[in-house]
Amino acid sequence: MSETFRKDHPNRPTLRHSLLAGVAILGALGVAVPLIADLNSTPAYAETQGMVQSMPSFADIVEKVRPAVVSVKVKVESAADTGEDGGGMMIPDLPPGHPLEKFFKQFREGRGGHKGGPKQFGLSQGSGFFISADGYAVTNNHVIENAVTVTLTTDDGKTLDAKIVGRDPKTDLALLKTEQPGNFPFVPLASSAPRVGDWVVAVGNPFGLGGTVTAGIVSARGRDIGSGPYDDYIQIDAPVNRGNSGGPTFNLKGEVVGVNTAIYSPSGGSVGIAFAIPSETVSSVISALKDGGSVARGYLGVQIQPVTPELADSLGLKEPKGALIAETQPGTPAADAGLKPGDTIIAVNGEAMATPRDVTRHVSQIKPGDSAKITYLRAGKEQVATIKLVALPETKMAVADPALAKASPAFGLALAPSKDGNGVLVTDVDPNGVGAEKGIGKGDIILEISGKQVVKPSDVRTAIDEARKEGRKAVVLRLKGEDGMRFVALAFPKG
């Protein structure tokens, strides 16, 4: 019963009095009724007490770790818009026609999207955290990119000048070092990955508000959001917004399990889907940046693509796993070791590889000059090659092109000999055919079918007819297109 109700009706009996009066009337009529306990002895919220006590409190963890979290303020030279939020959280571009498209265009232009004239300077903010008592701090590369000056603001309001020790755009990590001496509070990186469903706490500087704490759980692991060749994000549902970039996500031990980097946000604000770089990646990259200011990665020299069920069946593989080599770069470790297009990498140093991304990530973690044991399948037989890796060239990366996963040309193709006699040119594609549906394009060149070179359209027809007679479900084509080399499975229609 509300206090207002009681004041407005001072003579009206309370709910408890009404109930007891009703019991007395029933008793007077001779109706057997159970004894009702005094309502004051059992509060309405009593049953929730155990639930409240079982819920975690993050206060002790936050009190322990928050002094190590800093606000990162950056003076930048304004440039054309990058699609980011000015040192905050990376967000997808708004689709054409979106109601806020004009607003954000004006906002970005106001931040420095001007061409010509004198140099423009602006300020951006993000988050970071100390990882050592002598003032080394971690943040995102996109927070400090194009920085003229960097300052750190601690939880107690102190401002510290900082320099950039090194940065790694491929993983979006950067290492800073405060130029002031001191014994700074710091937090450790977790040695093990969190499990899906574990509680996590994010601390950062959303919208420039200063130390802000949010909590949630690990929603997923191993997320690839297309931001780089080494995507391996932890997905969390703790509210993360612009300005949280570079800030830490903690487990309940107060260890950093990830660095908040990106959000999925159609609206520009948090919708409960955030992505953090896992601590194992942070540890290896930051260690390399501290030692040399950059990250040296191993390079194998192959272009790889996923193994689809059709390709697996055509190649005689038991299951669609591993990374199919579409091309080996001349003069690279892979070519020197004898790896060929059509080989399927299934393990690196004894660890099974399920996808091309697994291969890319594991090879990149091997230091140039060290050897890697590459297990691969050729014609259905397992083989092993020990290959000494070289440094990854800046312009080349052994990655799987996302387009390759979608490409699987089939019938509906017009063919002609190529100009140089090396392969068969696709001159036209039926827009309603399976070829167009699977991604084959005009101008692609068919180099091989089922491992046999083709130089004229009749070679293609012959190879397809032979495969049919042998009872195969599909043939494997090796194509050359704008995206480089790739393998595709050409499945025969059923019936």
71, 85, 127, 142: the active-site residue: 142
Sign of CA dihedral 20, 22, 25, 27: negative
Of 324, 318, 359, which Cα lies nearest the Cα of 343?
A: 324
Q: Which token pair is 97? A: 């026609």
Most distant CA pair in the chain, distance: 109
Of 457, 332, 315, which Cα lies nearest the Cα of 378?
A: 315
Strand partners, 424: 417, 446
DSSP string, 125-186: EEEEEE-STT-EEEE-HHHHTTEEEEEEE-TTS-EEEEEEEEEETTTTEEEEEESS------
Strand partners, 305: 324
> How far is residue 381 from each of residues 172, 318, 372, 460, measured CA to CA in Å?
39, 11, 20, 26
Backbone angles phi and psi of 438, in degrees to 5:
-90, -10
Answer whether 415's CB lies under 8 Å from 446's CB.
yes
Rounded CA-CA distance 267/107 in Å is 15
71, 85, 168, 172: the active-site residue: 172
17 is annotated as an active-site residue: no
124, 127, 219, 245: the active-site residue: 245
Backbone angles phi and psi of 299, in degrees to 5:
-130, 125
172 is annotated as an active-site residue: yes
Rounded CA-CA distance 268/101 in Å is 11
Rounded CA-CA distance 130/152 in Å is 10
Answer whether 136's CB lies under 8 Å from 189's CB.
no
Sign of CA dihedral 469, 470, 471, 474: negative
Backbone angles phi and psi of 332, in degrees to 5:
-100, 165
Answer whether 449's CB lies under 8 Å from 457's CB.
no
Answer whether 128's CB lies under 8 Å from 176's CB.
yes
Answer whether 345's CB lies under 8 Å from 325's CB.
yes
- Exposure pattern of 73-96 as b/e (b: 16+ CB <10 Å)? bbebebbebeebbbbbbbbeebee
Taken as a whole, the chain contains a residue count of 495
* Residues marked as catalytic: 142, 172, 245
